[in-house]
């Protein structure tokens, strides 16, 4: 499916609005859209709404052997996917430029900045380490995927708890969440990306472009920072010409925004922690807004069961009259995962051969004129030669080892 | 790499350079006869080869044709023998794709693509030996190759890396300094107008040091542009001597 | 076999028009299981996939972690066949309808949740359908009790798991997907239970649509 192309008048309108320092949704040039962060019931699952852009992040962990070059460090793996739900232009399985760019930027922002202590993920040096996998799914594309993805990833990583392990010599015991409380990852700092869109060869810039603004922009500058005013990564894209002063100005704006967003994430994490501790309800089900008219929630309801038994019996009795069914021995389950039909029966595989032969005989008698037909020269095939006076077709010696004399049919003793 | 001193007390780096010294740059243009433009550059131990074909008709999907400008197609790859460990996937992996995208974006800004509507310019870059500053070597080699091919550009595109150790910015990092865990900033600059075509930085750096770091990288780029200019003029002299009657 | 019947449906809820880009979208929550569905269509279709007299329906299921496997493909097949039976696809020939389902959290009866979310998303997109459909999962535990809408724990302890898609007009079974062994009688009982339970869900569909357009009507 293709995305609707942008008309020239819409493009001119947006550019003119940017020149007059106005935005289509009424924001100021340096304003972010509303950010909403919700966590799920299981640890490490988080949905971030940046305006209308929606992104889901899920963190999972696994014990794997470490990389040869770094035997004492755990592995971080990031995977961002553009779901076809997010935009009609995203197709499944297509490696587009945008996907590569977002993936690389996410990796650089989170892995190269060393925000997670990978040494603490080591269980047995050189043999088993934790591999933390972050899957980010883009659910709705309304601009600025990079920022939302980085917020979702770092919030999910902060929310995640990995199972506790006990090491005794070479044995590793992994405890389930019920046995021992899982432990959180050790996160040094939270790098968050801030995107700046440039227009008219770098004269105007906007923070947090929405999808329409992204389509008309000249280029994008992404700065990842944490709240300690440390820059974790800078990346310019789109072929714009920047001046050094512009980059410095953007970094100053970014530091202000990042501290606001970090506070938001921490607040959301605290709320979730509190809800879990107090035993209140948490998760996505709870965070569904009830006051909207597009949402409706219904409580637990018992199902009316009064005539079920009767209806069932009635249906069965209607279909009970069956012609004699071939009795097949019922399967026996000697152990979970195995099945067995019958016990100590004779091998009746030859049976099928004879049936096939008889069918073939019927077919070929209709076709043949009594001559010998060699169907193929290949030695591998079983070639059937029909003799006009024999009832049973003889089989030529072929490559296969089927029995020449088919055993007679035997009645099963059940 | 922990424990290796990137900057000694006397101000000398691992390979004996001072903090703001660039590595030795040697370049040749016109190394391939059949390509429209080609160049080879050595920056210290990093060796890069760039080849330019074009402008020619858009090959492959016709839908990529732009009615008012040329399409720039870049491919970045590393030779399997370029790094200490043999590289199993020279191109097609994410890092190479990202580098190709960055190169494309850099040159789309620098080349006057409006002069060649409905055409395509191909730039292929290969790293023969990697010792830090891969991206910068590629950009410099590609600039020389474009000049060799006679494609009009706004200015030379010079790229250089810079790092930051103990409040001192280092210019033109080698591999040991890049992987030492410190900051790395790669900058592609158009020297005369001071416009930045691409800026890329990894690892943590405090915001206050950004200015110093960028200034060091820009200074290194300007130095590099003088060297490239010298190479181009020398090549032109040689060629004109040969073609003179 | 005497069957004691006390099944309940977990609390469920849904929100329509959740996403701005798809033509229709809905999120459906059953207990803790949560699914997000988005529909695009009728839209342009690739020439290789077009059908001359009806719309081409494509269903995509995205798992949360990792790449889609055969299990997702099998479920896509079940859902696609249910939707094709319900949709009036001959009204949009040479078009494509794409239904994308994303699991947000899986706590049992996932296939049923997919079906319910799909139906709500199709309603939200305004696609013409001959009937609505809903999904119910029944589990038969080791004692022979029938549990509707099981959670992951109940699913693990059950000996059979049956999912049915029931249509709204005549309460017929549109699709069934089962796992485990059970007798014919148990099957019929489960179908009857599902039909009863589907009434709740259809009433919920009606209520949510009525609520949504309450300001207009």
Judged against a pLDDT cut of 90, whether residue A94 lies above it is answered with no
pLDDT, tens only, B50-85: 999 989 999 887 788 888 889 999 999 998 888 887
Contacts of B78 (CB under 8 A, 6+ apart): B87, B90, B91, B96, B126, B127, B130, B134
DSSP B94: H
Mean pLDDT of chain B: 88
What was the pLDDT predicted at A158? 93
A40 to chain C: nearest residue by CA? Answer: C105
**Angstroms from A266 CA to nearest CA on chain C:** 22
User: Chain A residues with CB inside 8 Å of B211's CB?
Assistant: 244, 248
Q: What one-character-per-residue DSSP string does A224-269 give? A: EE-TTSEEEEEEEESS--B-HHHHHHHHHHHHHHHHHHHHHHHHHH
ipTM of the complex: 0.90
Test A303 with C148 for CB contact under 8 angstroms: yes
Lowest mean pLDDT among A137-141, A336-340, C30-34: A336-340
Q: Establish if A178 touches chain C: CB-CB under 8 angstroms.
A: no
Question: Among the listed ranges A87-91, A368-372, C106-110, C112-116, which one has the minimum average pLDDT value?
Answer: A368-372
Most confident of A386-390, B63-67, B144-148: B144-148
Higher pLDDT, C98 or B243: C98
**Domain count within chain A:** 1
pLDDT of res. C125: 94
* Chain A residues within 8 A of B105 when measuring between CB atoms: 219, 237-239
pLDDT at B3 over 70: no
Decide if pLDDT at A380 tops 60: no
Tell me what the pLDDT averaged over chain A comes to: 79
Q: What is the pLDDT of residue C1?
A: 38
Contact C33, C105 (CB under 8 A): yes
DSSP secondary structure letters along chain C: ----B--EEPPEEEEES--SSSSEEEEEEETTEEEEEEEEEEE---GGG--SSSPEEEEEEE-SSSS--HHHHHHHHHHHHHHHHHB-GGGSTT-EEEEEEEEEE--S-HHHHHHHHHHHHHHHHT--BSS-EEEEEEEEETTS-EEES--HHHHHHEEEEEEEEEETTT--EEEEEEEE---HHHHHHHHHHHHHHHHHHHHHHHHHHHHHTTTT-
Provide the pLDDT confidence category of residue A284 given band limits of 50, 70 and 90.
low
Candidates A84, A294, A301; nearest CB to C100:
A84
Residue A286 has what pLDDT?
60
Q: Which residue has the higher pLDDT, A283 or C11?
A: C11
The CA distances from residue C55 to A216, A218, C52, C133, in Å, are: 34, 39, 8, 19
pLDDT of residue A386: 60
CB burial of residue B175 (10 Å; 0-12, 13-18, 19+): middle
Split into its structural domains, chain B has a count of 1
- Residues 6+ away with beta carbon under 8 Å from C97: C39, C40, C41, C42, C43, C55, C56, C57, C58, C87, C89, C127
Tell whether C159 is covered by a domain. Answer: yes
* Residue A281: band (very low, low, confident or very high) from pLDDT cuts 50, 70, 90: low
**Distance between B206 CA and the closest CA of chain A, angstroms:** 4
- Average pLDDT (A207-216) is 91
First-to-last CA distance in chain C? Answer: 51
Which chains have 3 or more CB–CB distances shorter than 8 Å to chain C?
A
- Would residue A6 count as lying in a domain? no
Chain C hits for A56, Cβ within 8 Å: 64, 102, 104
Residue in A87, A283, A316 closest to C21 by CB: A87
What is the tally of structural domains in chain C?
A: 1
Report pLDDT for C6: 64
Is C6 contained in some domain?
A: no
Question: Which chain A residue has its CA at the smallest distance from B111's CA?
Answer: A239
* Dist CA B96 CA B78 (whole Å): 8
Question: Long-range CB contacts (< 8 A, 24+ apart) of C88-91?
Answer: C88/C128, C88/C129, C88/C130, C89/C54, C89/C55, C89/C57, C90/C53, C90/C54, C90/C55, C91/C55, C91/C128
Q: Higher-confidence residue: C138 or A113?
A: C138
d(CA C79, CA C81): 5
C208 lies in some domain: yes
Mean pLDDT score, C63-89: 92
A362 or B165, higher pLDDT:
B165
φ, ψ dihedrals at B11, nearest 5°: 95, 20
Do the domain assignments include residue C179?
A: yes
With beta carbons under 8 A apart, name residues in chain A contacting B208.
Answer: 229
Hey, of A52, A85, A135, which one would you mutate to test binding to chain C, going by the most C CBs within 10 A of its CB? Answer: A85
How far is it, in rounded angstroms, from Cα C188 to Cα C193?
9
* Shortest Cα distance, chain B CAs vs residue A224, angstroms: 9
A344 within a domain of the structure (yes/no): no
Q: Which of A297-311, C68-82, C176-190 has the lowest mean pLDDT?
A: A297-311
Measured between beta carbons, which residues in chain C are less than 8 angstroms from residue A47?
104
**pLDDT tens for residues B16-27?**
888 888 999 999
The pLDDT value given to residue B166: 79
Global pTM value: 0.82
C193/A297 Cβ within 8 A = no
Per-residue pLDDT, C123: 94
Q: Tell me, yes or no, if C38 comes closer than 8 A to chain A by beta carbon.
A: yes
Residue of B nearest to A113 (CA): B203
Across the range A215-237, mean pLDDT stands at 90
Full domain range(s) for residue B135: 25-242
Report the percent of chain C where pLDDT is more than 90.
Answer: 61
Q: What is the pLDDT of residue B165?
A: 81
Distance in angstroms (rounded) separating the CA atoms of residues A255 and A250: 9
User: What does the pLDDT read at residue C162?
Assistant: 93
Residue B106 lies in a domain: yes
Smallest Cα distance from A38 to chain C, Å: 12
**Domain-located, residue A92:** yes
| Spatial CA neighbour of C149 closest among C190, C109, C113 | C109
- B153 vs B146: CA distance, rounded Å: 8
Q: What is the CATH number of the domain that holds B186?
A: 3.30.230.70
**What pLDDT shows up at residue C58?**
93
Judge whether C125 and C21 are in contact, CB under 8 Å: no
Question: For residue A325, what pLDDT is reported?
Answer: 59
All residues of chain B having their beta carbon less than 8 Å from the beta carbon of residue A226 are 204
Question: Is a pLDDT exceeding 60 seen at residue C200?
Answer: yes
C204 close to A (CB below 8 A): yes
Calculate mean pLDDT across residues A322-333: 64
Whether the pLDDT of residue C94 is over 90: the answer is yes
The enclosing domain of A223 has a CATH number of 3.30.230.70
What the block records as the tokens of B76 is 């970045």
In eight-state DSSP terms, residue A270 is H
> What pLDDT is stored for residue B95 in this prediction?
82
Tell me whether chains C and B touch (3+ CB pairs under 8 A): no
Answer yes or no: is pLDDT of A267 > 50: yes
Question: Any CB–CB contact under 8 A between A387 and chain C?
Answer: no
Q: Which domain holds residue C177?
A: 12-216
Q: Cβ contact (<8 Å) for A233 and B201?
A: yes
* Residue linked to tokens 């249509």: C167
Is the distance from CB of C39 to CB of C125 less than 8 angstroms? Answer: yes
Q: Decide if C17 and A316 are in contact by the 8 Å CB cutoff.
A: no
Of the pLDDT bands very low, low, confident and very high (cuts 50, 70, 90), residue A179 is: confident
Do A42 and C40 count as a contact with CB atoms less than 8 A apart?
A: no
What is the per-residue pLDDT for A327?
A: 66
Between helix C184-212 and helix C110-125 the angle, nearest 10°, is 30
Which of A175-184, A327-336, B175-184, C96-105 is most confident? Answer: C96-105
pLDDT value, residue A241 = 83
Element (H, E) at A272: helix A244-277
CA-nearest residue to A1 within chain C is C44
Picking from A41-50, A305-314, C3-12, which range would have the lowest pLDDT averaged per residue?
A305-314
CB–CB of B101 and A103 under 8 A?
no
- Six-digit token pair at C38? 């988005």
pLDDT tens, residue by residue, A81-90: 999 999 988 8
CATH number where C22 lies: 3.30.230.70
Q: Are A247 and A234 in contact, with CB atoms under 8 Å apart?
A: yes
pLDDT for C3 equals 45
Q: Do chains C and A touch (3 or more CB pairs under 8 A)?
A: yes
Asked whether residue A395 carries a pLDDT value surpassing 60, the answer given is no
Q: How far, in Å, are A108, A328, B240, C37 from residue A225 at the CA level? A: 12, 70, 52, 34
Q: Which chains touch B (3 or more CB pairs under 8 A)?
A: A
Long-range contacts of B15-23 (CB under 8 A, 24+ apart): B15/B44, B15/B174, B19/B168, B19/B169, B19/B170, B19/B171, B20/B169, B20/B170, B20/B171, B20/B216, B20/B219, B20/B220, B21/B171, B21/B172, B22/B160, B22/B171, B22/B172, B22/B220, B22/B223, B22/B224, B23/B172, B23/B174
Closest listed residue to residue C172, CA positions, set C154, C153, C195: C195
The residue range of the domain holding A206 is 21-302
Q: Which residue of A has its CA nearest to B191?
A: A243
What integer pLDDT is reported at residue A311 of this predicted model? 66
Please check whether residue C207 touches A, CB under 8 A.
Answer: yes
Average pLDDT (C145-174) is 91
Residue B205: pLDDT band (50, 70, 90) is confident
- The band of A312, judged by pLDDT with boundaries at 50, 70 and 90, is low
Average pLDDT over residues A107-135: 88
| Residues 127-146 in C contacting A (C-alpha not used; CB under 8 Å) | none
Q: Is residue B12 part of a domain?
A: no
Q: In this model, does residue A324 exceed pLDDT 80?
A: no
**Residue C1 is assigned to a structural domain of this protein:** no
Across the range C24-28, mean pLDDT stands at: 93
């Amino acid at each position: 499916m293709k995305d609707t192309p942008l008309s020239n008048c819409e493009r001119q309108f947006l550019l003119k609005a940017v020149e007059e320092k106005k935005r289509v949704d009424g924001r100021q040039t340096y304003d972010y859209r509303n950010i909403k962060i919700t966590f799920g019931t299981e640890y490490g699952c988080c949905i971030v709404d940046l305006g209308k852009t929606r992104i889901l992040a899920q963190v999972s962990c696994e014990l794997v052997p470490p990389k040869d070059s770094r035997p004492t460090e755990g592995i971080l793996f990031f995977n961002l996917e553009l779901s076809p739900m997010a935009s009609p232009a995203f197709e499944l399985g297509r490696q587009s430029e945008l996907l590569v760019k977002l993936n690389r930027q996410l990796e650089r922002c989170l892995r190269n900045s060393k925000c997670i202590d990978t040494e603490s993920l080591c269980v047995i040096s050189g043999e088993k380490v934790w591999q933390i996998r972050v899957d980010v799914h883009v659910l709705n594309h309304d601009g600025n995927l990079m920022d939302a993805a980085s917020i979702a990833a770092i919030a999910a990583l902060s929310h995640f708890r990995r199972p506790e392990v006990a090491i005794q010599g070479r044995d590793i015991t992994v405890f389930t969440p019920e046995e021992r409380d899982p432990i959180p990852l050790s996160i040094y700092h939270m790098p968050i990306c801030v995107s700046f869109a440039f227009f008219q060869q770098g004269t105007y810039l906007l923070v947090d472009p929405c999808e329409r603004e992204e389509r008309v922009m000249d280029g994008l500058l992404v700065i990842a920072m944490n709240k300690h005013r440390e820059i974790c990564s800078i990346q310019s894209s789109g072929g714009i010409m920047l001046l050094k002063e512009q980059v410095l100005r953007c970094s100053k704006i970014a530091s202000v925004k990042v501290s606001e967003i970090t506070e938001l994430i921490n607040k959301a994490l605290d709320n979730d922690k509190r809800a879990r501790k107090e035993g209140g309800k948490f998760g996505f089900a709870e965070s569904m807004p009830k006051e909207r008219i597009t949402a409706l929630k219904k409580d637990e309801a018992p199902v009316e069961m009064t005539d079920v038994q009767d209806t069932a019996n009635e249906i069965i009795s209607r279909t009970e009259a069956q012609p004699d069914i071939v009795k097949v021995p019922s399967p026996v389950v000697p152990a979970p995962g195995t099945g067995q039909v019958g016990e100590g029966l004779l091998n009746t595989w030859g049976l099928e051969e004879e049936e096939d032969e008889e069918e073939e005989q019927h077919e070929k008698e209709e076709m043949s004129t009594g001559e010998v037909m060699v169907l193929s020269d290949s030695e591998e095939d079983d070639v059937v030669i029909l003799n006009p006076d024999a009832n049973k077709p003889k089989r030529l010696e072929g490559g296969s080892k089927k029995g020449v004399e088919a055993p007679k049919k035997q009645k099963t003793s059940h | 790499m922990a424990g290796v001193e990137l900057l000694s007390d006397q101000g000398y780096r691992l390979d004996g350079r001072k903090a703001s010294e660039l590595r030795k740059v040697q370049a040749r243009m016109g190394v391939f006869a059949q390509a429209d433009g080609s160049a080879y550059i050595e920056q210290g131990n990093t060796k890069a080869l760039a080849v330019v074909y074009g402008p020619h008709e858009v090959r492959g999907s016709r839908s990529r044709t732009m009615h008012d400008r040329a399409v720039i197609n870049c491919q970045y790859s590393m030779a399997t023998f370029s790094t200490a460990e043999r590289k199993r996937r020279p191109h097609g992996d994410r890092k190479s794709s990202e580098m190709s995208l960055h190169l494309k974006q850099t040159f789309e800004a620098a080349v006057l693509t409006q002069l060649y509507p409905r055409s395509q310019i191909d730039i292929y870059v290969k790293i023969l030996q990697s010792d830090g500053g891969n991206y910068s070597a590629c950009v410099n080699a590609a600039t020389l190759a474009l000049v060799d091919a006679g494609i009009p550009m706004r200015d030379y595109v010079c790229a250089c890396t810079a790092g930051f150790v103990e409040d001192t910015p280092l210019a033109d990092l080698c591999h040991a300094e890049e992987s030492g865990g410190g900051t790395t900033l790669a900058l592609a600059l158009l020297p005369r107008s001071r416009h930045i075509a691409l800026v890329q930085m990894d690892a943590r750096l405090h915001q206050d040091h950004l200015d110093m770091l960028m200034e060091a990288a820009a200074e290194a780029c300007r130095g590099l542009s003088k060297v490239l200019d010298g190479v181009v003029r020398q090549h032109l002299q040689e060629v004109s001597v040969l073609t003179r009657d | 076999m005497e069957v004691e019947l006390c099944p309940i449906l977990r609390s469920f809820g849904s929100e329509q028009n959740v996403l701005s880009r798809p033509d229709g979208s809905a999120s459906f929550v059953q207990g803790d299981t949560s699914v997000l569905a988005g529909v695009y269509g009728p839209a342009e279709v690739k020439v290789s996939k077009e059908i001359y007299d009806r719309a081409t329906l494509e269903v995509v299921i995205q798992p949360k972690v990792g790449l889609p496997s055969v299990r997702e493909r099998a479920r896509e097949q079940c859902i696609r066949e249910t939707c094709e039976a319900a949709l009036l696809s001959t009204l949009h020939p040479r078009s494509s309808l794409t239904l994308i389902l994303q699991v947000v959290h899986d706590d049992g009866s996932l296939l049923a949740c997919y079906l319910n979310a799909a139906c709500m998303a199709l309603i939200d997109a305004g696609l013409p359908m001959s009937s609505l459909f809903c999904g119910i999962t029944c589990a038969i535990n080791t004692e022979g009790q029938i549990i509707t809408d099981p959670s992951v724990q109940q699913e693990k302890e059950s000996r059979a798991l049956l999912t049915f898609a029931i249509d709204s007009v005549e309460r017929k079974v549109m699709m069934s997907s089962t796992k485990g062994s059970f007798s014919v009688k148990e099957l019929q009982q489960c179908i009857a239970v599902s039909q009863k339970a589907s009434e709740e869900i259809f009433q919920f569909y009606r209520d949510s649509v009525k609520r949504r357009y309450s300001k207009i009507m």
